Amino acid sequence: MWQPTPDVVAHRGASAHRAEHTRGAYELALEQGADALECDIRVSRDGHLVCVHDRRIDRTSSARGVVSELTLAGMSGVDFGSWHRELPGTADELVNWARPDPEHGVLTLDELLGLVRDHPQPVRLFVETKHPVRYGGLVEHKLVALLARHGLAAPADPEHSPVLMMSFSQAAVRRFRAAAPRVPTVLLFDRFRSAWRNGVLPPWADIAGPGIRLLREDPGFVARAAALGRDTYCWTVDDQADIDLCHRAGVRYLATNSPASTRSHLDDSDSSRFGSVTTT
């Protein structure tokens, strides 16, 4: 059965090629034609929403510390990109390679929303709130307030909302839905509960968010969820066999670290399926 091509979601930006959650990673994802971007957010000590996956900044920066114990100003002077950069090919380039790149400072969600807003083509943003965290539900309340400042907290058409919220925490998704009922939500999960396996989600979750491992085990889940009016967002999909599996199953949103190669493979698959017309 033919299935529409999934939307390509850039997981933490084009994170296979540039350091995750940096402005450069998201700019590259947009250049590569991603349909949507994905980010993780946490609350800094002084109440700012920053795009950082881990509880600590040790893995993805030149410094150490817990996000909730650091201020935005303290993180702004930290290099979040050099750890991912490839060594340059010449000695002249190497001179500048070790210098902090202003594009590699900590990225705030406010800045990322501005990048999405200013892009000439429509692009959606999937925002994941991380839990457990020191400040509990503050991250969802901060998110709703920031979306309201950008005019995004009450979209006229939820189906085309520029922002979608998601989390592995059921309490977080439920809390966000209560505060911003028109913004679509994604319930992420890495194991099936009995009802979820049948495609039945809680009423406050609009979209199912299984990991790719679950779909390898049970690709029919996507159709069962669709029969109940629920689309599927699958993470994190880079292998070509997994891309094909998601396409065949009918996944709507495919999160990938490599938007360009994933898009190219999907396009090639569509070309092969429908064939090409040649003239002589």
Q: Are 67 and 50 in contact (CB under 8 A)?
A: yes
Q: Are 274 and 16 in contact (CB under 8 A)?
A: no
Active site residue 119: no
Residues in the chain: 280
Catalytic residue among 21, 53, 247, 265: 53
Q: Report the C-alpha gap between 44 and 48 in whole angstroms.
A: 5
Q: Are 84 and 61 in contact (CB under 8 A)?
A: no
Beta strands in the chain (DSSP E): 7-11, 36-43, 49-50, 124-129, 163-167, 185-189, 207-210, 231-234, 253-256
- Pairing type for strands 36-43 and 49-50 reads antiparallel
Catalytic residue among 11, 21, 48, 247: 11
Would you state the structure tokens that stand for residue 244, as one six-digit string? 């094909």
Q: Are 275 and 33 in contact (CB under 8 A)?
A: no
Q: Report the C-alpha gap between 150 and 132 in whole angstroms.
A: 27
- Backbone φ and ψ for 153, nearest 5 degrees, come out as -80, -15
Q: Report the C-alpha gap between 132 and 125 in whole angstroms.
A: 22
Q: Report the C-alpha gap between 50 and 67 in whole angstroms.
A: 9
List all residues 6 or more positions away from 64 whose beta carbon is below 8 Å from its beta carbon.
Answer: 56, 57, 58
Active site residue 84: no
Would you state the structure tokens that stand for residue 271, as one six-digit string? 């070309």
Residues with catalytic roles: 11, 53
